[in-house]
Chains A and B, each alone.
Chain A
Amino acid sequence: DTAVSQTPKYLVTQMGNDKSIKCEQNLGHDTMYWYKQDSKKFLKIMFSYNNKELIINETVPNRFSPKSPDKAHLNLHINSLELGDSAVYFCASRGANEQFFGPGTRLTVL
């Protein structure tokens, strides 16, 4: 069983479109995250959710909005996509001793 899963794995879209990336964890964790990894592999935390409450927003543009329908899901919705949004986006959930990462979604904005 996959602990943290994301869909889609690849997403290619035009500038100005709105898109969503889904994330699900089956570990029973309370806290989930979204990270952005740029072309230089630098990881930046975007959001974390604890029991459906947003507890961190690291200066991310408000075009990005996390949505958590329940504890096991944290989806990322992006409005008006820009070229600079092209990156790999990782979902993660936090356990007692480590974070578990999803396989990533490679977003390409044309």
Chain B
Amino acid sequence: GNSVTQMEGPVTLSEEAFLTINCTYTATGYPSLFWYVQYPGEGLQLLLKATKADDKGSNKGFEATYRKETTSFHLEKGSVQVSDSAVYFCALKVGSQGNLIFGKGTKLSVKP
């Protein structure tokens, strides 16, 4: 079946530190991969996505590369800010009509 595994949090970093949140997946077919972010008290928002192998998604200084050989889509940011504190969800979708399958979420706290 299709599934997403992401590193457990919480992750606590100081401002300007480097961030990596690991995400690996299992899928039948060729999934599209997503990172969603949930700020406190809000719904989920799409952060970035990649639809095929070797694609790199990027937004707001965050990046993730679709690695088919390692079935991974790790999220990275070179210098985090306090405003990046949120819960981050890795997700996949198989097929244009497929539903999103989410990982369990990773809570990030950035301290000034």
Do the two chains bind?
Answer: yes
Q: Dominant SS at the B interface?
A: strand
Name the B residues within 8 Å of A33 (CB-CB).
99
Known A41-B87, A48-B99: A98·B49 in contact at CB below 8 Å: yes
B89 interface hit (Cβ, 8 Å): yes
A104 interface hit (Cβ, 8 Å): yes
B42 interface hit (Cβ, 8 Å): yes
Name the B residues within 8 Å of A15 (CB-CB).
none
Name the B residues within 8 Å of A40 (CB-CB).
104
Which chain A residue has the least Cβ–Cβ distance from B9? A41
Name the B residues within 8 Å of A96 (CB-CB).
96
Contact A42 B104 (CB under 8 A): yes
Contact A41 B99 (CB under 8 A): no
Known A41-B107, A43-B89, A97-B49: A102·B102 in contact at CB below 8 Å: no
Q: Which residues of A contact B (CB under 8 A)?
A: 4, 33, 40-43, 45, 48, 56, 90, 92, 96-99, 101-104
